[in-house]
């Protein structure tokens, strides 16, 4: 037996698990990792009852720890090798789910934090979950724009138990960094009283990508102006405001004179430069509320409010005069001029398509009259 104890201890001490060698009477050998576990209530009695190989679970009477016994018979020894592995309590499993969950969530009552997981603290730049719970109110991170709706949503949650929707809103981290948060709210019982649990996902990247794609779909990439689709889709608010306020409204079409010849002679890169510069000059000449678009190759459109007493013919002439410039290309000086066709809104029955047809007809008249000039749809007196 002395030889058995010596050789056993050599390899038992090398094992990473708590391990014991035992028979039906008692413990023959144990490594240091097993010593504290053998002191647990009922463990020795449980080991004496082992009569077969396999696994079993055992929880001492005091419930302090749950153990897994994995036993194997030692050949020719009349003894057993059993590995003792502590099992986490169910509450420990739940705690791991909370702590390791990459999805941020928190519990609050009337926006006073009651609980938060580490992912929530990290998302909003808190140093710890304790720092979150110490807040008097979540208003600091919710943001003023969403705050009234957040209060209304809370009241609805408490009354109905659900919002019936999810939201994407702009929130702020503790450090003032903005993020777009996708929120899922529901009511649960917390320490015997109802509270709101909010699950938060950071969708800032997806929102930026959607905004970028939307801008690409509605913007002319060369000039940065609205494209044809955007111009016609977003012209309705201008007409609605004109009807509501009985204000004037001008639609102006512009075409760069002899642009095809410029492209053919000096090349498309130079032509692109002219188009981009034309867009910049046009933006600098009009008011901020004007809708400016590149609607064709070298054709541009402008929809803008007319001030009381302002004549669309005068606006068209002014644009035609000030948009003119000279551009250098190698040793050549290229004169850039524009033909302009314009019309004004003629009342509640006048549609954008009607205005566009009149302005287009006036533009072709300006070209027929020699280009580098403006023409307003007749009768001019009706377009004031």
Q: What pLDDT shows up at residue 7?
A: 62
Mean pLDDT of 286-300: 90
Split at pLDDT 50, 70, 90, the class of 1 is: very low
Active site residue 288: no
Q: What pLDDT shows up at residue 289?
A: 83
| CA distance linking residue 161 with residue 167, whole number of Å | 16
Q: What average pLDDT does the structure give for the chain? A: 87
Over pLDDT 90: what percentage of the chain? 48
Q: What pLDDT shows up at residue 380?
A: 46
Give the Cβ contact number of residue 18 at 10 Å. 21
The residue ranges of DSSP E strands in 239-331, in sequence order, are 248-256, 291-294, 299-306, 325-329
Please write the tens of the pLDDT for every residue from 132-160. Answer: 999 999 998 998 888 999 999 999 999 98
Check residues 93 and 20 and name the one with the higher pLDDT. Answer: 20
Please write the tens of the pLDDT for every residue from 48-107. Answer: 888 888 888 887 766 567 788 999 988 777 888 999 988 765 556 667 777 778 889 999
Q: What pLDDT shows up at residue 8?
A: 63
Residues 218 and 226: beta-carbon distance below 8 Å: yes
Q: What pLDDT shows up at residue 37?
A: 87
Out of 134, 211, 288, 298, pick the active-site residue.
298
Q: What pLDDT shows up at residue 381?
A: 45
Domains of the chain: 2-87 (3.30.450.20), 93-206 (3.30.450.20), 219-383 (3.30.70.270)
User: What tokens does 315 get?
Assistant: 């606006």
Q: Decide the pairing of beta strands 374-376 and 338-344.
A: parallel
Split at pLDDT 50, 70, 90, the class of 382 is: very low
Please write the tens of the pLDDT for every residue from 176-201. Answer: 899 999 999 999 988 889 999 999 99
Please write the tens of the pLDDT for every residue from 342-377. Answer: 999 888 788 888 999 999 999 999 999 999 999 998
The residue ranges of DSSP E strands in the chain, in sequence order, are 18-22, 27-30, 54-58, 66-74, 79-87, 104-109, 112-116, 167-172, 178-190, 193-202, 248-256, 291-294, 299-306, 325-329, 332-336, 338-344, 374-376
Please write the tens of the pLDDT for every residue from 296-325. Answer: 999 999 999 888 778 999 999 999 999 889
User: What tokens does 76 get?
Assistant: 């020719």
């Amino acid at each position: 037996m002395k030889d058995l104890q010596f050789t056993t201890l050599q390899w038992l001490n090398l094992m990473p698990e708590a391990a014991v060698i035992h028979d039906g009477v008692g413990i023959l050998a144990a490594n240091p990792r097993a010593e504290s576990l053998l002191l647990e209530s009922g463990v020795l009695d449980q080991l004496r009852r082992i009569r077969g190989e396999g696994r079993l679970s055992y929880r001492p009477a005091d419930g302090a720890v749950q153990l897994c016994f994995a036993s194997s018979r030692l050949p020719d020894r009349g003894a057993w090798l059993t590995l003792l592995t502590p099992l986490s309590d169910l509450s420990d499993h739940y705690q791991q789910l909370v702590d390791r969950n990459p999805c941020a969530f928190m519990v609050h009552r009337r926006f006073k934090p009651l609980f938060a997981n580490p992912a929530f603290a990290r998302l909003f730049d808190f140093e710890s979950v304790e720092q979150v719970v110490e807040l008097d109110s979540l208003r600091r991170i919710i943001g003023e724009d969403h705050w009234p709706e957040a209060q209304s949503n809370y009241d609805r949650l408490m009354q109905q138990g659900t919002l019936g929707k999810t939201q994407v809103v702009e929130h702020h981290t503790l450090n003032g960094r903005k993020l777009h948060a996708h929120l899922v709210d529901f009511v649960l019982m917390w320490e015997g009283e109802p509270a709101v649990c909010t699950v938060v996902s950071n969708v800032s990247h997806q929102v930026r990508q959607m905004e970028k794609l939307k801008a690409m779909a509605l913007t002319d990439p060369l000039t940065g102006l609205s494209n044809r689709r955007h111009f016609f889709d977003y012209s309705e608010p201008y007409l609605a405001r004109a009807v509501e306020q009985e204000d004037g409204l001008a639609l102006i079409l512009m075409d760069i004179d002899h642009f095809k010849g410029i492209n053919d002679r000096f090349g498309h890169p130079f032509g692109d430069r002219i188009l981009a510069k034309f867009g910049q000059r046009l933006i600098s000449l009009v008011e901020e509320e004007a809708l400016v678009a590149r609607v064709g190759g070298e054709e541009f459109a402008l929809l803008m409010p007319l001030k009381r007493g302002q004549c669309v013919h005068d606006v068209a002439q002014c644009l035609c005069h000030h948009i003119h410039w000279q551009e250098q290309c190698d040793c050549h000086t290229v004169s850039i001029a524009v033909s302009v066709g314009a019309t004004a809104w003629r009342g509640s029955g006048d549609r954008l398509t009607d205005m566009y047809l009149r302005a287009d007809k006036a533009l072709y008249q300006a070209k027929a009259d020699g280009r580098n000039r403006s023409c307003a749809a007749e009768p001019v007196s009706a377009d004031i």
